[in-house]
Amino acid sequence: MAPEEAAAICKQDPGFVWLGMVEPSPAELEHVQDAFGLHELAVEDAQSFHLRPKVETYEGGITFVVLRTARYVDELEEVEFGEVSIFIGPGFIITVRQGVASDLHESRLRLEHHPKLLEEGPSSVLWAILDKIVDDYAPVVEGLERDIEEVEQTVFSGAHAPTQRIYLLRREVTDFYRAVHPLLGPAAAITQGGVLAISPGLRQYFRDVDDHLKLVNEEIVAQRDLLTTILQANLAVVSAEQNEVVRRISAWAAIITVPTFIASFYGMNFDHMPELHWRFSYPAVVVLMVVAGVVLWRGFKRARWL
């Protein structure tokens, strides 16, 4: 269906039109902009990626919403992000999807099971999309939680985990936080009816999504704090291992230094060293060097430096 036909239907039909677009070209968005009278700034934002979640209202009763989607990839142990830009106007809703993690098929199915919500108009579609995106955050939280537990067990078992993995994992959590936390404000505004005119019945559904979103945000904050603690603990383990190596090197250096000093002392060319003329002086010096080394070795062993 061409954008002009969809725009004509939403003006004549008592229902509404849902137009979905996947990574459209600038020309395609410009075509839709002309057909539905969208604001140029909102259209420009819809072409961008990695925007912060937000809700804005433009002339003509059109509301522009940006949502960040997320998906955990088990094979890569990474989080993939997508974006959904939504235009809501009189009798229409337009969704612009960016990235692989932005499928909205389940949102359509969810609305089909709630025919009464469809009577609310485009706002019901916004709820279905928002509910789908927030539900998809849960597997991401679980996947990150598994990775964090693996690193935590490694660090607190006494062995050090690769610092790079901890750092990359914390960056994943931070990127996820940036996708979720800014959505709290827009979700609260929609729930309170400050952006869209929604009925009390639909507001309850939005409130349920808002509660789930707050829970996800709290879990992400806890994960960030835990990763900070794990990183500090891992650095402490690495530092302890380095100190152990330094102690061992210092102990062996001390053991070697004393016999070396004795050997160098008797290697000096002095005329008046009576013990040099003693018959057993050479074996005595060798024994002295060995005894000194053994005494030092036992002392460092008792001090757990070796």
Q: Is 142 helix (H, G, I), strand (E, B) or coil?
A: helix
**pLDDT confidence band for 176 (50 / 70 / 90):** very high
pLDDT in tens, 4-46: 555 555 555 557 888 888 888 888 888 888 888 888 888 888 8
Taken in order of first residue, the domains within the chain and their CATH numbers are 3-239 (3.30.460.20), 245-302 (1.20.58.340)
Q: Is 91 helix (H, G, I), strand (E, B) or coil?
A: coil
Q: What torsion, rounded to 10 degrees, do the Cα atoms 137, 127, 103, 24 define?
A: -130
CA angle 142–205–116, rounded 5-degree value: 125
Q: Which of 250, 260, 306, 249 is nearest to 285 (CA)?
A: 260
What is the reported pLDDT for 232? 80
The pTM of the full predicted model, rounded to 2 decimals, is: 0.73
pLDDT in tens, 82-135: 899 999 988 889 999 888 766 787 888 888 787 788 888 888 889 889 999 999
Tokens of 174: 């931070």
Q: Which amino acid is at 192?
A: Q
Phi-psi category of 150—alpha, beta or left, where left has phi over 0 and alpha has psi -120 to 50?
alpha
How large a percentage of the chain has pLDDT more than 70? Answer: 81
Q: Which of 50, 71, 3, 52 is nearest to 31 (CA)?
A: 3
Among 114-128, 173-187, 287-301, the minimum mean pLDDT is found in 287-301
Measuring CA to CA, how many Å separate 144 from each of 19, 80, 147, 210, 226? 34, 12, 5, 22, 12
